[in-house]
Amino acid sequence: MWKKGILTFICIMVLIIKFPTPAVYAENIVVKQYLGEWQSVSPNTYYFVTIKQDTSGNYTIFAGFQAPDQGDELFNSVLDIESKSKATFKYAFPEENPAKKQGTLSFLKDKLEMVYMNGSEKRIVILERKTERIKVFIDNEEIHLDPAPKFRNGSVIIPMRPIFEYFGAELLWDKEKQTIKVDANTNSFTLKIGSLQATLNGKTIQLNESPKIINNITFVPLRFVSESFGATVQWNAIQHSVHIRSND
């Protein structure tokens, strides 16, 4: 009799593990509605958040802010879903103590509320879905790109050929290896589709966002490419624009 009871208990536990409770399903359904890119522009500071689901089913948050006097602050973390309206995450900025802090992410109607500590300062940020078109200027002249630039993981990516043609660079596309090799003045660099590592004059460079093919168009990270051409790049958070100044 007791053996039958143990067997029944094991079967129940297997079912619980294999098939999440309705509450877990409900929480996952809610979080899926918030997948994608979010942003919040306040005076002199641009906040951005990307929520993804990895191959293991975990939800992750890539977040940070850009401020003129402070540079970029970024962190990447796994979301711990506590309820249909709230999740927590652990984070640490690169220059801070490795001991991670805990932040919260609340799922509001059509918005997100992110609460975290920056040093001793508590920050509460309301984010909305990112939809605004990114403007690109080269030497104060706006260039119109089709398809439009996209914001991914704190980086602007743009269609490959227009920017290369503007700087008069020669590129070599290796379809089999999915690599782009470019000779730009005194510099040469290589990008690989889907890779966060690039090479510049033989040195490995870590990217925030990888080159990718979207609807048969190759997109590349704007800042890395422009700076490889010897240009300077400035992001204007308020105007949602990128300003590139060539050295010609």
Residue 62, beta-bridge partner list: 50, 76
Write down the pLDDT at residue 99: 62
Domain regions of the chain by residue span: 20-129, 135-245
d(CA 142, CA 135): 7
User: Residue 106's pLDDT is what?
Assistant: 92
Looking at residue 240, its pLDDT comes to: 76
What lies within 8 Å, CB to CB, of 23 at 6+ separation is none
Q: What is the pLDDT of residue 16?
A: 42
Please tell me the predicted confidence (pLDDT) of residue 19: 41
pLDDT the model gives residue 132: 65
Nearest CA to 234 out of 223, 225, 224 is that of 223
What is residue 83's predicted lDDT score, i.e. its pLDDT? 85
CB 38 within 8 A of CB 130: yes
Which amino acid is it at 235? Answer: W
What are 94-136's pLDDT values in tens digits? 656 556 788 999 988 778 899 988 778 888 888 887 766 788 9
Q: What is the pLDDT along the chain (248 residues), one digit of tens a residue?
A: 555 555 454 444 444 444 444 444 345 556 778 888 888 766 567 788 888 888 888 899 888 777 655 556 678 888 998 888 899 998 876 656 556 788 999 988 778 899 988 778 888 888 887 766 788 999 999 988 888 898 777 788 999 988 888 888 888 999 999 999 998 777 899 999 999 999 999 999 999 889 999 889 999 999 999 999 889 998 876 677 899 998 76
The domain defined by 20-129 folds into: Lipocalin (2.40.128)
Class of 135-245 per CATH? alpha beta
Tokens 């991914």 map to which residue?
152
Cα–Cα distance measured from residue 88 to residue 111, given in angstroms and rounded to the nearest whole number: 16
CB neighbour burial string for 115-144, b if at least 16 within 10 angstroms, e if fewer: ebeeeeeeeebebeebeeebbbbbeeeeee
Q: Output the pLDDT for position 159.
A: 93
* Fold: same for 20-129 and 135-245: no
| Cβ-contact 148, 189 below 8 angstroms | no
Burial per residue of 49-66, b for 16 or more beta-carbon CB atoms within 10 angstroms, e otherwise: bbbeeeeeeebebbbbbb
